[in-house]
Amino acid sequence: MSDDRFTAIIVGAGPAGSTAAYLLAKEGYEVLLIEKGSAPGAKNMFGGRMYAHALNRIIPGFWEEAPVERPVVREIITFMDGGRSTSVTCRDQGWAEPPYHSFTLLRAEFDAWLAAKAEDAGAMLACNICVDDPLYENGKVVGIRAGEDEMFADVVIAADGVNSILAQKAGLAAMFSAGQVATGAKQIIELPAEEIGHRFGLEGEGGAAQLFVGDCTRRIHGGGFLYTNKRSISLGLVLNTASLGKGQIRVVDLIEDFKANPEIAPLIDGGTVAEYSAHLIPEAGLGMTPQLFSDGMLVAGDAAGFVLNLGYIVRGMDFAIASGEAAAGAVKAARQSGDFSKAGLAVYRKLLSESFVLRDLEAYRRAPEFTANPRLYGAYPEFVTSLASRLFTVDGSQPVHVLGKVWDHFRKSGLGLTDIAGDGWKGVKWL
Ligand SMILES: Cc1cc2nc3c(=O)[nH]c(=O)nc-3n(C[C@H](O)[C@H](O)[C@H](O)COP(=O)(O)OP(=O)(O)OC[C@H]3O[C@@H](n4cnc5c(N)ncnc54)[C@H](O)[C@@H]3O)c2cc1C
């Protein structure tokens, strides 16, 4: 490998960057993977679950060697309001068998493993280096500058996460607005493995994923999450950053309230907080996708805004991995044609469209609009929890059939019929 020129310089050793590096290095290309953290994963966090399909296509049976925690077999959605909560649960034991549906995992270990796969395949990994700028020659990106150092390549892949300095400095992305991103805050709470199994009704290695909506965010746009790991629980909140700013609410206070909620407190009782972290999440879908390629540059993963939040499903890891794969495919095609110009790299968009990345973002393009509806975080959780409570209450009062209770409850709720019909229609159509 030549010391001063690479086929690809990949900035960011998260799942997008390490996947691209792994696939290119495996084909014998000269790859430099640069990470600003002291190790891959050192600066990364997420809620806690990766859908397995994208990585399984690239590294079949990856769970045999990757540091995954538990295959998720139990999904729970919980509406919260005041002291009331109502949950919907789905269990599928089939998800506990290969090819697994999704895994909980911890990023420090997982990202280090994926970057090591790239290194084993022949990529050069350089940590503790923060890339400052793209380098240009005749209007084309030809490398990067990090401090005093300059490094050169046929193509640079910006896989540097949600606040992609590289894509912004290259003029491919604009700075996002507060409403386009959410702030995520999370604690890892350690508990014995058997206690986790007991508290969540889990057998063997199976895991649970639970999402919360309602007053866990004091009714602002966002929600709570809980994922079971082998010997810990990942617990946190995701809050739309603009709504958070308007409400002048401190995230740390919300987290403490959440932990004290009667729905959560018994689940984490006796646990030890081992880690606290926070990170931004791109949430505007195609509404914040930058230009994906230019002369000598590609943008992948969160840097391209590739995250899908449907409220009941959160996906970013599989998008990052698949976009890293598409970026590697585009570099291979450009190398074969000897054309790393914008025209030569345009195949990247085609590859993203052929994979699920742009297809799914397009299919759910109105999800961000739907999930911004304030009724989802206040009026509906209140309605669902109080109605459920009323259905289960026996107090000697005059009997009323279920339909009568629902109608009476609806009349008193202050919700309009057109609101419910409109929101319901959008929900089934857009999600
Ligand atoms: C609170 C929260 C909950 C989430 N929950 C889920 C979930 O449950 N499931 C799911 O699938 N997704 C989830 N996501 C989204 C998921 O984490 C991201 O989509 C995914 O990490 C994107 O991967 P990436 O490689 O594009 O970026 P990142 O993982 O952000 O990696 C970018 C890398 O680039 C490095 N870097 C940045 N700038 C520079 C620079 N200038 N020089 C060198 N290196 C640099 C960073 O240190 C980092 O290692 C969640 C995100 C958050 C914040």
Residues 229 and 296 in one domain: no
- Cβ–Cβ under 8 Å, residues 426 and 366: yes
Give the single-character DSSP code of 158: E
The confidence score (pLDDT) of residue 109 equals 97
| Whether 267 and 126 share a structural domain | no
Same domain, 148 and 185: no
pLDDT of residue 245: 86
Tell me, yes or no, whether 202 and 347 share the same domain. Answer: no
Contacts of 59 (CB under 8 A, 6+ apart): 66, 117
Residue 197 in contact with ligand 1 by CB distance below 6 A:
no
Distance, in Å, from the CA atom of 185 to the CA atom of 356, rounded to the nearest integer, reads 28
Does 230 share its domain with 274? yes
Kindly state whether residues 186 and 226 are assigned to the same domain.
yes
The CATH number for 39's domain is 3.50.50.60
Does residue 74 lie within any of the structural domains?
no
Task: For a ligand 1 pocket test, name from 109, 132, 254, 302 the mutation site with the most ligand atoms within 8 angstroms of its C-beta.
Answer: 302
Long-range contacts from 131-134, C-beta under 8 angstroms, 24+ separation: 131/11, 131/34, 131/36, 131/160, 131/165, 131/166, 132/165, 133/166, 133/169, 134/166, 134/169, 134/170, 134/297
Q: What is the pLDDT of residue 3?
A: 56
Residue 204 burial class via C-beta count within 10 angstroms: exposed 0-12, middle 13-18, buried 19 and up: exposed
| Contacts of 54 by beta carbon, 8 Å cutoff, 6+ apart | 317, 318, 319, 321, 322, 325, 356
First-to-final CA distance of the chain: 48
Structural domain contains residue 207: yes
Domain that residue 202 falls in: 179-282
Are 299 and 262 in the same domain?
Answer: no
For residue 40, the ligand 1 atom closest to its alpha carbon is: 49
Of 324, 354, 384, the domain-final residue: 354
Could you give the C-alpha distances from 219 to 131, 240, 303, in angstroms and in order?
39, 11, 29
Residue 75 is assigned to a structural domain of this protein: no
Determine the distance separating the centroid of ligand 1 and the alpha carbon of 66, expressed in angstroms: 18
Q: How far is the CA of 14 from the centre of ligand 1 (A)?
A: 6
Task: Please list the ranges in the chain whose pLDDT falls under 50.
Answer: 1-2
Amino acid sitting at position 135 = L
CA-proximal residue: ligand 1, atom 33 (nearest): 12
- pTM of the entire predicted model: 0.97
One domain for residues 52 and 183: no
Q: Are residues 19 and 145 in the same domain?
A: yes
| Domain-ending residue, one of 282, 317, 344 | 282
Cα 109 to ligand 1 centre (Å) = 14
**Residues 274, 168 within the same domain:** no
User: Is residue 269 in some structural domain?
Assistant: yes
* High-pLDDT (> 70) share of the chain, %: 99
Number of domains the chain is built from: 3
Does some domain include residue 83?
no
Domain membership of residue 250 (yes or no) is yes
- Would 101 be classed as within a structural domain? no
**110 vs 95: CA distance, rounded Å:** 20
275 and 298 share a domain?
A: no
Residues 129 and 229 in one domain: no
Tokens 């386009």 sit on residue: 180
In a domain, 164, yes or no: yes
Report pLDDT for 1: 43
